[in-house]
Structure 1
Amino acid sequence: MAFQRRIYLVFLGFLGLLVSIGFRSVFSMVMVHVVKSKHAEEEGLFGKCNVNGTSRDLRVTGWSVAETQYFQAAYFAGSFIMQLPGGYLATRYSPRRVCGLSILISSVLMLLLPVPIQYTDSPVPVFIIRFLQGLVEGWSVPAMNGVISAWAPKSEKSRMVTFVYAGAYLSPALAMVLTGSLACWVSWNASLFLYGGLGVVWSVLWVCTIYDTPALHPSLHPSEADLFTREGANVGRGSQRVANAIPWTKILRSLPVWAIILGSFCRNWIFSMMITQVPQYFKDAFSKDIATIGFTAALPELLMTIVTISGGVFIDKLIKHNVLSTTHGRKLAQCMGFGVEALCLIGLRFVNSKNDNIALVLLSVGVGFSGLAISGYQVNPLDLAPQYVSILTGLSRLGTLGAILSTSVAGKLRRQDVHSWQTIFTIAGSIHLAGVVFYAIFASGEKQSWAESPENRPLLAPVDSVGNISTYVPEGEDGAQTSTQSKLTSSLFYPKNKRPLRNDFDEDGNPSWFLNTI
């Protein structure tokens, strides 16, 4: 069986989100661990965690839990600011390089975090680093979606997106377990170094082995090329012309786009709660130790990952076999996923400090079902506008405002008792229900009339009966080959199968100097 390049893209994208989204959970767990506790030893599932011994060689006494919540708010504020600019960068330049650079810088900052935590009493340096991490990570998801859009055949969009994003949703589970174990028995900062190092390695691998579009890959197998010929999204690489043609007014007036944005707002509200506040919830309400918290908080995320992957395959099959239209498939996924989660969160209002098992069941069911919604709002930009998916993703990621408000509300309302958490969960569940209703009314799965770019043209030439790919010669506006393109034609194709090579020129024929030196 021939090696499928789109499968490799999905696998590497999965690993990228597994590591980069894990940065948030790692930091949250470290903060839960290092902020002063009333107990030198905490009992848990795996024995005593010696919080004053070699595994707890750092004690932050001057910071409060509320301050650690504001560290998270700083991160989400930075991310909010850069979502739309990140989408524009991915549309104007190489989305794969924008994504790689984003995670590379954030990884380096992750490696620097232990220094101000250990050697400064002021929270300001940590606040600044978290804000900078948010700024640079704001580019990553719009850029990654831009690459996925170009590589996702029509019949595989849901499963490709959900498989990649399964990394984001498995990430908190893995990060919480690793951080809890390493902090308790190795060192408080071990997970910061581990994840920072993995992020650097992944960034280099991504930039060196991934291509922006199938047309730019030098050794795509003919069978896979034929698939893109039949079902490809016909997405061009980033260029100034594509960026200049973005129909901003029509996008901002589109109700299906706003349905995605509101869905993202609700998702970010809940997701930030799961990875930054739920660990503190288990400590406040049920007095769990750090290792137990890691395993307990990981279970809902693990179930969500399973539902995310299986849900993507299920929705694709319903759409492919015409059981549901694309629009109805997206609405079914969104309403079932987020609707069940909203009801479970509201149900937590009735859980007291003696019912930790009930709380875990409600969180596991609710968060697990929410994985189905990834086949709704998260895939939706690829349906509405494949060429502008980075822009739509950037707009939808403005929903990180929900994460900012979520952490701020938790910081204001939270006390070290279960009653304050009941209020926090009720607010979150109510907001979630409102988002479900809006999406059910206004969402669409059809390509929008404003979604065609003047740059769109066949990216892959037809495959003949023996598997050879005929040479594609780009044309200028007057139908003739431009002079720059004439000079490049001989170097754009391999002699063997005439696949186009990567090149360092943008769609205007000019050197794509920005980010191409990475």
Structure 2
Amino acid sequence: MPLLWGRDCFPRFYRRGYQPLGQNTLPSIGVRHFQCFLVFCGLSVAYALRVNLSVAIVAMTDHNSTNPDFAVYDWDSKEKSLLLSSFFWGYVVTQIPGGFLSHKYGAKFTLFTGISVCSLLALLTPLAAEVGNSGLVFVLRVVQGLCQGVVFPSTHTFLSKWAPAGERGRLVTYCYSGTQFGTVVMLAASGFIASSFLGWPSIFYVSGLAGIVWAIVWLIYAASMPSEHKTISEDERRYIESTFNQPRDNRRTILPTPWLKIATSMPFITLLIVHCGQNWGFWTLLTEIPNYMKNVLNKDIKSNAMLSALPYLVMCLLSYVFIFITDILNKRKFLSLSVSRKLFNSIGHWVPMVALIALGYVTAEHQKLAIALLTIAVGVNAATYLGFQVNHIDLSPNFAGTLMGITNCAANVMSILAPLTVGIIVTEETNPLQWRLVFFITGGFYLVGNTLFLLFGKTEVQPWNYPNQRERRSSSDQDALLDTNGAEIT
């Protein structure tokens, strides 16, 4: 039975006979949009699998739990911080291999393998805690990190094949907003699940089953590149391929990776540093907000989960607000691509920096203000999707997955160090002065990373993106054609 997407699903659009490069005559919804929707769902599941422990660990170690029918563990602050960081011990290892494998075998294969295996391991987490206590849970989370290390490099490889230049910022943001959607759903639902008759083990069962369902749908409907999709129209396929100079057949070209040129490229080094600063701040807040809510703001497990999810709900919604603003700015040509990237990156880093500094001086008596500042610190960070997050594809469409693998590998060393640093600094979890230092350090990473991006960040495609001068000339001609058609890169 043919897959009903593309020409079969939208016949009235495909009868228009639009020009391959005429973006204004393309259908409002095409195969590329459905592929990005599948990526959105996959990233939602991936982040649900990452953050499930952040809320579950509160219930797993709470002897005053509202559901005494399930095991409670005596894990101290350092032990909990180690468990919360364990995912990233494996995660950093497979970042660069993930970029290479997705480039060689296709993002469909690597995304399917990474998320499906991670989902199966999530189902085993309650058993691991029962049989091996924190030690076995640590090992399981490390292996889950190994599985998910391929996710972001594969996503960038996938988008470098499916997101046309004129829609790049928009589609990248749509896809990656799934990370916040998954975070919101998991954090919000986990508190209720943990305190219900299902107990905290069901936090892992629900997220694991969701991952299995997604993997089946992805295997059926996804394709690594337009030329491999069975029902895409010829016009849409030509439109996508022409913006990247992709081959018009099913052969996947393997280009030699210019490792030395990448490693000595100042725009890339800058991108790596700003990514590290972003990850320190993002994962400090993501892993530690539940503990901060419980121990400083005195919130119970239900309100803790809902309030912990609020900043990520705002972040998800603001992603679309920033897309809308960018579209307006680009249509009116107010900003160049470089200024646009740096403006949104500054909003996404420096506004949260100010909010975190202010949060350091808020006490438990001003809970609403603390929650508002946390929401600003996390929510406005969505602007970075239109900043450094898409810059990998700006610099090198051919090696975007590899670049993401390298920067995400380095950045997730920060994801390991951040929770461990919190465990060292916060020896008394109810002490607001210790949390103040945590917020100041996080703000410092935001300050340094974005400052360097403003000074040294670039948006031009780098010379090492091209394997030969012929492709470079072809790409330059195509860029000129896109410009005359008004398809400005966003």
TM-score interval for Structure 1 and Structure 2 normalised by the shorter chain: 0.7 to 0.9
- Whether 2:66 is the aligned partner of 1:33: answer no
Deviation at 1:453, TM superposition (A): 3.1
Quote the offset at 1:123 in angstroms. Answer: 1.7
Q: Please state how far the C-alpha of 1:230 moved relative to its aligned partner.
A: 5.0
Does residue 71 of the first structure (1) align with residue 83 of the second (2)?
yes
For 1:33 and 1:233, locate their aligned partners in 2 and report how far apart those are by CA, in whole Å: 52
Gaps of 5+ in 1: 41-49, 463-518
| Equivalent in 247, 253, 270 of residue 258 of structure 2 | 247
In structure 2, the residue matched to 1:416 is 429
Alignment partner of 1:210 out of 216, 219, 222: 222
Per-residue CA deviations over 1:110-161 (Å, capped at 9, x if unaligned) read 11111021233x3211110011111111011101211111111111101101
Cα distance, 1:265 vs. partner? 1.0
Alpha-carbon contact 2:241-2:247 (below 8 Å) kept: no
2: distance between equivalents of 1:102 and 1:169? 19
Quick check: which has more Rg, 1 or 2?
Answer: 1
1:354 aligns with 2:380: no
Partner Cα distance (1:224, 1:25) in 2 = 37
Matched, 1:60 2:86: no
Do residues 427 (structure 1) and 438 (structure 2) align? no
Counterpart of 1:19 (choices 45, 64, 75) is: 45
Alignment partner of 1:109 is 2:109: no
Q: Which moved more, 1:361-370 or 1:231-240?
A: 231-240
Equivalent position amino acid for 1:260 in 2: L
| Paired AA for residue 19 in structure 1 | V
List aligned pairs for 1:459-498, cutoff 5 A.
none
Contact 2:161–2:244, Cα closer than 8 Å, also in 1: yes
For the pair 1:289 / 2:300, whether they are aligned, the reply is yes
**Contact 2:60 2:73 (C-alpha < 8 Å) held by counterparts:** yes
Partner SS, residue 227 of structure 2: helix
3-state SS of 1:22 partner: helix
Matching residue within 436, 449, 470 for 2:463: 449
* TM-fit CA distance, 1:229: 5.2
**Distance (whole Å) between structure 2 residues aligned to residue 178 and residue 96 of structure 1:** 29
Q: Give the conservation status (yes or no) of the 8 Å contact 1:100–1:207.
A: yes
SS where residue 333 of structure 2 aligns? coil
SS in 2 for 1:388: helix
Write out aligned runs for 1:257-268 (5 A): 257-268=268-279
Matches within 5 A, 1:145-294: 145-185=156-196, 186-228=198-240, 230-232=242-244, 234=246, 242-243=254-255, 245-294=256-305
- Secondary structure of 2:364's counterpart equals coil
For 1:428, the aligned partner's letter is T
Give 1:342's aligned residue. 353
Q: Bigger CA drift: 327-336 or 313-322?
A: 313-322
Q: CA deviation at 1:218?
A: 2.4
Q: How far did 1:92 drift?
A: 2.0
Determine the C-alpha separation between the residues in 1 that align with 2:192 and 2:250: 43
Give the partner amino acid of 2:273: L
- Whichever structure has more helix as a proportion of its residues is 2
Asked if the contact 2:356/2:377 (under 8 Å) is kept, the reply is yes
Deviation at 1:259? 2.1
What is the Cα deviation at residue 234 of structure 1? 3.1
Deviation at 1:7, TM superposition (A): 0.9
Question: Partner amino acid for 2:457?
Answer: A
TM-score, normalised on structure 2? 0.86
Task: Provide the aligned C-alpha RMSD in A.
Answer: 2.3
**2:446 aligned with 1:436:** no
Aligned residues: 444
Alpha-carbon contact 1:387-1:453 (below 8 Å) kept: no
Kept in 2: contact 1:385–1:451 (CA 8 A)? yes
Residues 180 and 293 of structure 1 are in contact (CA less than 8 Å); yes or no, is this contact kept in structure 2?
Answer: yes
- Preserved CA contact (<8 Å) 1:96 1:144: no
Alignment check: 8 A CA contact 1:234 1:456 kept = no
1:270-329 Cα deviation digits (max 9, x unpaired): 221222111000111022111111111111111111111221343244345432221111
Query: Matches of 2:71 and 2:400 in 1, distance apart?
Result: 44
CA distance in 2, matches of 1:157, 1:150: 11
